[in-house]
Homo-oligomer: A and B are copies of this chain.
Amino acid sequence: MPEGSAALHDVVRRQRACRSFDPSVAVSDDDIETVLDAAVHAPSAENTQPWVFVVVRNHRTRRALADIWASAWAIGSAQIRTHVDDALFADLERGMGGGFGTAPVVVVVCADLDRVDELFAECSIYPAVQNLLLTATGMGLGSCLTTGLTSFFVEQVRDLLDLPGTVKPLAAVYLGAPDRRLGPPRRRPASQSTYRERYGDLW
C-alpha cells in the first residue's frame, strides 16, 4: 500500500463520533479553514458546490442548539432505548444530554438551493461533510455528524442562523477536543453487506 494510502486508511478507520468535548480547548480559525478546505474538495452534482457553512461559536446560539437536543432527548430517549445497544445509548445520552453543548464550535452545513436542485442536495453535501470529519480526525479533533436538528427542528435552526428559505440546513457538525480517549468505531465487515452482480449473491 503506498504511504499516502496507508495514512488515509488509518484516519478512515479511526474516525468515530465524539459526543462530549473539553470546552477549555479552543478550535482556531486556522483549524476551521483546514477542515472546510477539505470539505469543498468533495464532489457535488455537476460540480455546483452548493455548500453553505455557518460556523457557530457564539455561546448563546450553541446553548440554544444544545437545549433543543436536551428537550428532544427527554421526549425521544425511551423510544431510542428500544433499538440501540447499551454502549450507543450511553453515548447518545452523553451528547444529547449536554455533551454537544460542550463543543466550542458547531458547523451547520446547508445546501444553497439557488445552486443545486433539491433532488441533488444530499448527495452534494454529505460527501463534503465526510471530508470535514476525516480531516478533523486527522488533526486530532473530535467531531460528530448530526442530522436531528436539521430534520426535526429546521425552523428553529433557520431562525437562530438567519437562513433564508433557499438555504436548506442538512447537518450540524460538532467540533472540539474530545474530553476522553475514544475507542475505535464498531462496524460490521463490509462482506456482510456486499453482493456480486445482483442482490442476493453475497460477496
A contact set with B: CB distance below 8 Å: 2-13, 15-17, 33-34, 36-43, 45-47, 49, 51-58, 61, 80, 83-84, 88, 92, 112, 119-120, 122-123, 125-127, 129-131, 133-135, 138-140, 145, 147, 151, 160-164, 167, 170-171, 185-191, 193-200, 203
CB of A49 within 8 A of CB of B5, answer no
Given that A49-B193, A195-B54 are contacting pairs, would A162 and B200 also be in contact in the complex, using a CB cutoff of 8 Å?
yes
The number of times this chain is found in the oligomer is 2
Q: Is the CB of B53 within 8 A of A193?
A: yes
Give the contacting residue for A123; candidates B33, B52, B122; CB below 8 A.
B122
Bound CA span A43–B46, Å: 25
Contact partner of A145 (CB less than 8 A), chosen from B10, B49, B123, B164, is B123
Contact between chains at B41 and A12 (CB < 8 Å)? yes
A199–B36 touching, CB < 8 Å? no
Contact (Cβ within 8 A) B195 A52: yes
